[in-house]
Amino acid sequence: MNKRLYIETVGCQMNVLDSEMVVASLRKRGFELAGDLAGADVILFNTCSVREQAENKTYSALGRLRSFKKAHPEKIVGVMGCMAQKDQKLIFDRAPYVDLVVGPGQLARIPDLLESIAAGKGPQMAVSLGRKEGPVEEIKRSHETFDPLRDPTMRPTPSQAYLRIQIGCDKFCTYCIVPMTRGPEQGRPPEQILAEARILADQGCKEITLIGQTVNSYRYASGGRTTRLADLLHALSDIDGIQRLKFVTNYPKDMTDDLLLAVRDLPKCSPYLHVPAQSGSNDVLARMKRGYTVEDYCEMMGRIRATIPHAAVTSDFIVGFSGESEADFQKTYDLVAECRFKNSFIFKYSERPGTKGAELYPDDIPHEVKNRRNNELLALQNRISEQESQRFLGERVEVLVEGPSDRARHRGEEHGEVVQLTGRTHDDRIVVFDGNPRLVGEIIPIAIYDVSPHTLFGAVVTEHVSGAGLQPAFGIL
């Protein structure tokens, strides 16, 4: 088999990390990355099922491959990730030229399955057991965590990495397909997590983002001792080289005081908490089966603000869930106004076959209403984000430089002496400034002179030694 791989990834951080792992495992078998689809021997789509639109995009992309595959039957086309687990054989029905379907719990088998296909054994499929297809332990085993290797070249930037601490989800929010596609919640052993973090630090990684669907529900029991997220943060803080620790996504009910104290007391922990509320209406939250009330959420926000006053808190909301009245939506609007999130991701409800929501509740809010609510909430959040950003005018922030900004990349300017760079503050704010690309991977001071809702604009602070000692000055390094 010729070994050039093209991989296209959509969806959440889990998928980004899964792609990194699959690329690493295939490199071990001699694969190289192809820059585009046409130059590849194996084409993999890493897919998302959270909203229908994401699935439609993947099926359209597969549709566009039909004639390509006819002209090049030797090329292997594979679908991996949540849509592979959810749709399974249906993918072969809708796109009969697909050779490989692999769920997120079976990724370790991809290299062998590709060899079987190349050896002429026909299309291959590897999926995990459904949530009712056997004893829990067997189902858990069929959803294997796949974190054996790291491939630094596949990361968003070499100085930043995701580290999986938990797979699956047991919350079963009624709108959500994730518990079905990613299986039961399972925490990874702390020794494995710490060993991986040390490898990442040795590779030059400065910022680690711990990921899990409900990352703060993490627990691992062994030898009479239970390790929780706060314990992990303490242990990870001791690793030299790692300078920032973030974790996503948090579940409101599991935002315990020990975790907030860890974030407050460990300087490496970023004062940044993503805690999706989903709705501001108790009736909607109950139908979503989120397991908390608006009052619980506000109590949690109060504890966050009291413990870590400077923390940036972000949220997710779904508008147009089944039965959401204007009064329900108004309550969501009021919650956003009250909580003053740094940012919120707002989604229009998308009914997902296979969820309790699809079974129990009609998708009864018209598109126009979903759109309007989406726009109104977004406009409110943008106003709040802009006001919150204003606080940074004239301030100095420490930024981990990620690379050339989108503008520099689009204009092909990313290799100049001075280019527009982008990076993030400790509390996950995006900062754009001019500087030399050699600053990428460094944590540097930036003085902020302008803001927009989601971006701070600044200049590198250079230190001049003079008779009076160190004098800050603004300039381009």
Interatomic CA distance for residues 71 and 417, integer angstroms:
44
Sign of CA dihedral 288, 293, 294, 297: negative
| Residue 434 C-beta: closest distance to ligand SF4, Å | 39
Per DSSP bridges, beta strands 76-81 and 100-102 are: parallel
Tell me if 318 contacts ligand SAM by CB under 6 A.
Answer: yes
Options 48, 176, 211, 229; binder of ligand SF4; rule CB under 6 A: 176
Confirm or reject binding of residue 171 to ligand SF4 (CB under 6 A): yes
Residue 214 token pair: 């409900």
Q: If binding is defined by CB under 6 A, does position 51 make contact with ligand SAM?
A: yes
Q: For residues 166-195, which are near ligand SAM according to CB under 6 A?
A: 175-176, 178
In the complex, what is the shortest distance from the CB of residue 250 to ligand SAM, in angstroms, rounded to a whole number? 8
Is 178 near ligand SF4 (CB under 6 A)? yes
Of ligand SF4, ligand SAM, none, which one sits near residue 352, judging by CB under 5 to 8 A according to partner kind? Answer: ligand SAM
C-alpha to C-alpha distances, 373 to 174, 208, 282, 283, nearest whole angstrom: 21, 35, 18, 17
Contact letters for ligand SAM, residues 211-230 (x by CB under 6 A)? --xx----------------
Select the residue interacting with ligand SAM from 283, 316, 376, 398 (CB under 6 A).
Answer: 316
Question: How much is the CA Rg of the chain, to the nearest whole Å?
Answer: 23
Task: Choose the binding region for ligand SAM from 36-44, 86-94, 344-352, 436-444 (rule: CB under 6 A).
Answer: 344-352
Q: How far is the CB of 276 from ligand SF4 (least distance, A)?
A: 7
User: Is the N-terminal amide bond of 249 cis, ω within 30° of 0?
Assistant: yes
Interface residues for ligand SF4 in 243-302 (CB under 6 A)? 251
Which of 98, 173, 248, 255 contacts ligand SF4 by CB under 6 A?
173
For the record, the structure tokens of 454 come out as 């989601």
CB of 316 to ligand SF4, least distance (A): 8
Distance in angstroms between the alpha carbons of the first and the last residue of the chain:
48
DSSP 300-320: HHHHHHHH-TT-EEEEEEEES
Options 10, 79, 169, 269; binder of ligand SF4; rule CB under 6 A: 169
Q: What is the DSSP letter of 157?
A: B
Give yes or no for residue 179 binding ligand SF4 (CB under 6 A).
yes
- Interaction of residue 276 with ligand SAM, rule CB under 6 A: yes
* 50 touches 177 (CB < 8 A): yes
Count the site residues for ligand SF4 by CB under 6 A. 10
Q: Is 10 in the site for ligand SAM (CB under 6 A)?
A: no
Cα 279–284–287 angle (5° rounding)?
130
Q: Which residues lie below 8 Å from residue 178, measured CB to CB, with a gap of 6+?
A: 50, 82, 169, 213
The DSSP 8-state label assigned to residue 248 in this structure reads E
For residues 131 and 110, give the distance between their C-alpha atoms in angstroms, rounded to a whole number. 23
> Which residues of this chain interact with ligand SF4, rule CB under 6 A?
169, 171-173, 176, 178-179, 213-214, 251
> Which residues of this chain interact with ligand SAM, rule CB under 6 A?
12, 50-51, 175-176, 178, 213-214, 249, 251, 276, 278, 316, 318, 347, 349-350, 352
